[in-house]
Amino acid sequence: MLGLMQLSIGQVAERTGLSVHALRFYEKEGILAHQVHRGPGGRRVYTQQDVDWLRMCIMLRMSGMPVPEIRRYTELVRQGDGNELQRLDILKEHQERVRQQMVQLQDCMDLITHKVGIYQDYVNSIAAKAIGQ
């Protein structure tokens, strides 16, 4: 059932949140797991699997994996069985980068929270004085 669903580029844009432009761009960049089938008039026909794959790509992009590396990964998947170790390497490497990113972000968050606290206290004290008058 699911496998038979046929989606236009517009529908895929809707359900992934990507723009139609971005979808064509991603295809040109070779980050679709397999060739998108074409319907009458040369129109792209996507399946649910394409959408699922795209959703994963979106996650990878969101977490900062560059397009060329997503392409490398995609190519491995396209090649089929036998290169799982290489895929695993890419994922592990990225995982480590994301981990570092999260640590960094937490540091930034700590600083910001600290500053917000200081300003909040100050602003509150000003407000209290104004009321007290």
DSSP state of 47: -
**Choice between 43 and 114, CB closer to DNA:** 43
Q: Which does 59 bind (CB under 5 to 8 A by kind): DNA, a second copy, none?
A: a second copy
> What residues have CB less than 8 Å from 31, skipping those under 6 apart?
57, 67, 70, 71, 74
Find the binder of DNA among 66, 96, 99, 109 (CB under 7 A). 66
- Rounded to a whole number, what is the distance in angstroms from the first to the last CA of the chain? 72
Binders of a second copy in range 57-96 (CB under 8 A): 59-60, 62-63, 84-85, 87-88, 91-92, 94-95
Q: Does 21 bind DNA (CB under 7 A)?
A: yes
Q: Which does 42 bind (CB under 5 to 8 A by kind): a second copy, DNA, none?
A: DNA
In angstroms, how far is CA 80 from the centroid of its own chain? 23
Where does residue 37 fall: left (phi above 0), alpha (psi -120 to 50 degrees), or beta otherwise? beta
Beta strands in 1-133 (DSSP E): 37-38, 44-45
**Choice between 24 and 87, CB closer to a second copy:** 87
Q: Does 99 bind a second copy (CB under 8 A)?
A: yes
Least distance in angstroms from the C-beta of 56 to DNA: 13
Residue 110 identity: D
Q: Which residues bind DNA (CB under 7 A)?
A: 8-11, 13, 19-22, 24-25, 40-44, 61, 66-68
